[in-house]
Amino acid sequence: MPGTTPQPAQHPGGAHGSTRLPTTGRAWHLVRRPQGWPVPEDFALRETPVAAPAEGRILVRNRYFSVDPYMRGRMNDVKSYVPPFRLDAPMDGAAVGEVVASAADGFAPGDLVVHSLGWREYADFDARHATRVDPALAPLPAYLGVLGMPGLTAYAGLLEVASFKEGDTVFVSGAAGAVGSVAGQLARLKGAARVIGSAGSDDKVKLLREEYGFDAAFNYKKAPVAEQLKEAAPEGIDVYFDNVGGDHLEAAIGRLKLHGRVTLCGMIAQYNEVDPPAAPRNLALAIGKRLRLQGMIVMDHAHLQPRFVEEVAPWIRSGELKYHETVVDGIEHGVDAFLGMLRGQNVGKMVVSVAD
């Protein structure tokens, strides 16, 4: 795997303001479809050509890119709500970076933008797919996490999909992660009677209780989820925000009250499983309890973005809503970051820092 830093070169080109651009940049390719857990050999970091952008396009030097659980699904060759990654081509996903050359009206070198060509050092794309961001409002990685897609997922999943209302008791799994930490804190800030979270280490549980203000939290690795949830929610729960599936979902179905609501946001416990898990085995309870279990995809809720930022940004500024990020330095560690996130090595949003 080549690990060289791209060398600056002169480009004549039509781009406004492109003087010294590199001739190549590194990008992560998927080279083999993982079976079960991905391994480093499924990926390759390769040099790809970089050129001055054509009319209407911009060239962006990525500063951070996101590694997300949904990307595991895109490594399989199956039809889904997003197409699979192609083999031997750069992978993509959310990124934030700096425009270094522009042939598009309204963009100039130095502008900072969010876009969807992550996993690479340089991204060349139609400027209509760039969203400008303001680093004075929030640090750049926040636009991939708390103020980005995961934050909106938490907001839409709790308020719109689960129809959260004041006084609800809410259980969130994956509660120390990018989506879960926002979902739990939003529930608290919006008047939940009780917020319960689960996570995979004692340190994460401590964070949930002491920093994020969860009323109760437990380490799902220490004892069966059903037992720990019963202890944490003796009166039952109204809402379950599911990031995990499997035994978490089974335990939640068991604790949900009449007319309880479940947001099926993610099922990370099974993304690397070759055989689907047996749980939940108690789904029939949903009938008698008149439960509503609803799947969600965040892109269906894009219309909520302005309201989400308007409501949540002040809580972030005031410190009422706290967030963490785990930043892995260097594009060469991109796959390590992705695998680390799947194993729970992140607290809050996992991002890869590509350049200063």
Ligand X SMILES: NC(=O)c1ccc[n+]([C@@H]2O[C@H](COP(=O)([O-])OP(=O)(O)OC[C@H]3O[C@@H](n4cnc5c(N)ncnc54)[C@H](OP(=O)(O)O)[C@@H]3O)[C@@H](O)[C@H]2O)c1
Residue located via tokens 């008047």: 191
Tell me if residue 20 falls in helix, strand or coil.
Answer: strand
Identify the burial level of 264 via C-beta atoms within 10 angstroms of its C-beta, where 0-12 means exposed, 13-18 middle and 19 or more buried.
Answer: middle
Rule CB under 6 A: which residues touch ligand X?
A: 68-70, 150, 153, 174, 176-180, 199-201, 204, 243-244, 265-266, 268-269, 296-298, 341-342, 344, 346
Distance CA 324, CA 201 (A): 16
Closer residue to ligand X, CB minimum distance, 2 or 295: 295
135: CB partners within 8 A, 6+ apart: 112
Distance CA 310, CA 316 (A): 11
Distance CA 345, CA 85 (A): 24
Distance CA 195, CA 238 (A): 10
Closer residue to ligand X, CB minimum distance, 1 or 302: 302
Report, in Å, the least distance between residue 297 CB and ligand X. 4
Helical spans, DSSP H, in the chain: 70-74, 149-155, 178-189, 202-210, 225-232, 246-255, 285-288, 305-318, 334-342
Closer residue to ligand X, CB minimum distance, 127 or 161: 161
Closer residue to ligand X, CB minimum distance, 104 or 225: 225
Distance CA 50, CA 332 (A): 18
Closer residue to ligand X, CB minimum distance, 112 or 341: 341
Report, in Å, the least distance between residue 145 CB and ligand X. 8
Report, in Å, the least distance between residue 122 CB and ligand X. 25
Report, in Å, the least distance between residue 128 CB and ligand X. 23
Report, in Å, the least distance between residue 169 CB and ligand X. 21
Report, in Å, the least distance between residue 279 CB and ligand X. 12
Closer residue to ligand X, CB minimum distance, 138 or 183: 183
The closest of 240, 260, 235, 259 to 251, measured between CA atoms, is 240
CA contacts within 13 A on the Cβ side of 3: 6
Report, in Å, the least distance between residue 235 CB and ligand X. 24
Q: Tokens standing for 64?
A: 């951070």
Closer residue to ligand X, CB minimum distance, 47 or 211: 211
